[in-house]
Homo-oligomer: A and B are copies of this chain.
Amino acid sequence: MSRVKCPKCQNMERILKAGIIRNKQRYFCKACVYHFIIKKVQKDNNLLPDKPASQVSLQDIASVAGVSITTVSRALKNRPDINIQTREYIKELAKSMNYQPNILAQSLVNKSTHTLGVIIPSLDTTVFSTMLGGIQEVASKAGYRVIICNSNENHETEIANIQGLMNHLIDGLLICHSIQTSSFEHIRIHIGKRIPIVQFYRVANGLPISQILAEDEVGAEKVTDYLIKKGCRRIALLLGPKNLSITQKRFKGYQMSLEKHGINLDIRLLAHVDFLQESVEKALEDWLKINPKIDGIISISDKSAAQIIRLLKKKSIKIPEEINVFGFGNEFTGQIVEPELSTFDTRTRIIGEEAARLIIEQIISGNQEVKSKLISGEIILRGSA
């Protein structure tokens, strides 16, 4: 006969064992139809050296201190409604027991994870890692963690990443679309829910969410203006896939500059590439066959521009005498190539910082008002144009 007393009716007679749950004996009181458990004495971790020591919980501290879990929670949270000595004692105790709060449990209750999700399309160019640097810095200063997912320029991966993150793991999503992404249903279904979304750098227009943008249109226009003023009339433009916002905007800026200067658009001078080295090389080959000859190239990125410069030099084409080359992004590589690369500095890091700032503001305020912010860039002149 068990020596167990029902906590409900105090009966000691009609108690049955009812299995073991999580290492604890479970009982059933027939008198008051009630299941209960008598907790085992706290096991000393030292007695089980083979098992990894489990993290200490509020419960552990509470039993050592002889107070309730609530009191411990209050102490550690510096709540006012607690005796100050109790508080200090518990805080010291927690420290000595090396207590670490379980962020999962906190997040589950608070419905907030203090984590930002970031989807970037690639790590192959420093553009995105620079933006990440900006995001990280602002986020960590504001006490937010960052989960980074790399879509590898793949639409399916982007969708899967978003789905995963949105399952309660993050408080806000920052997204820079992959080059493959041209439908945006996977974004739209999350709009207006609890979790704010901010697009940066590569954005989809037509979605009612905020954006942080580079000065693509104005930048392309300024660069084209500059080249035309320098005497170029046959300016080739290296772009990404047509569905990308930055492609469209840079083309528009380019087009506007041409119009302004009364130069006809020659579509043969436009090339759409997927950022791979081979496709850049192919585009260049095609351009060089065109007559009248090209005298300027505006590249989608500094990386491609640097590549183009190397290729032109191998063909003994003089830069900038025969062909002016202009990049976009102000990456480190532009200072290494010879001649050094003239480029439009899109202030990549600032874009990341602003994106993080905006999403955190939206998370905290709960206000998802649509904002669109343009980060102004500037032309940096070096030897290539």
Contacts and interface: CB of A to CB of B under 8 A. Distances in A.
Contact of A130 (B123, B168, B335): B123
A73 interface: no
A121 to B, nearest CB: 12
Contact of A104 (B52, B54, B108): B108
B168 A52 contact: no
Given A123-B130, A133-B124, A52 B193 contact: yes
Contacts of A312: none
A332 B303 contact: yes
Interface stretch (A13-21, A145-153, A198-206): A145-153
A362 interface: no
Nearest to A169: B103
Interface string A128-160: 011011001100100001111110100001000
B52 A192 contact: yes
Nearest to A103: B167
Interface string A54-82: 11000000000000000000000000000
Contacts of A113: 104
A337 interface: yes
Contact of A337 (B55, B103, B194, B337): B337
Q: When A and B form their complex, which 6 residue pairs have the shortest distance between CB atoms, in order from nearest?
A: A123-B129, A148-B148, A306-B336, A129-B129, A102-B168, A103-B167
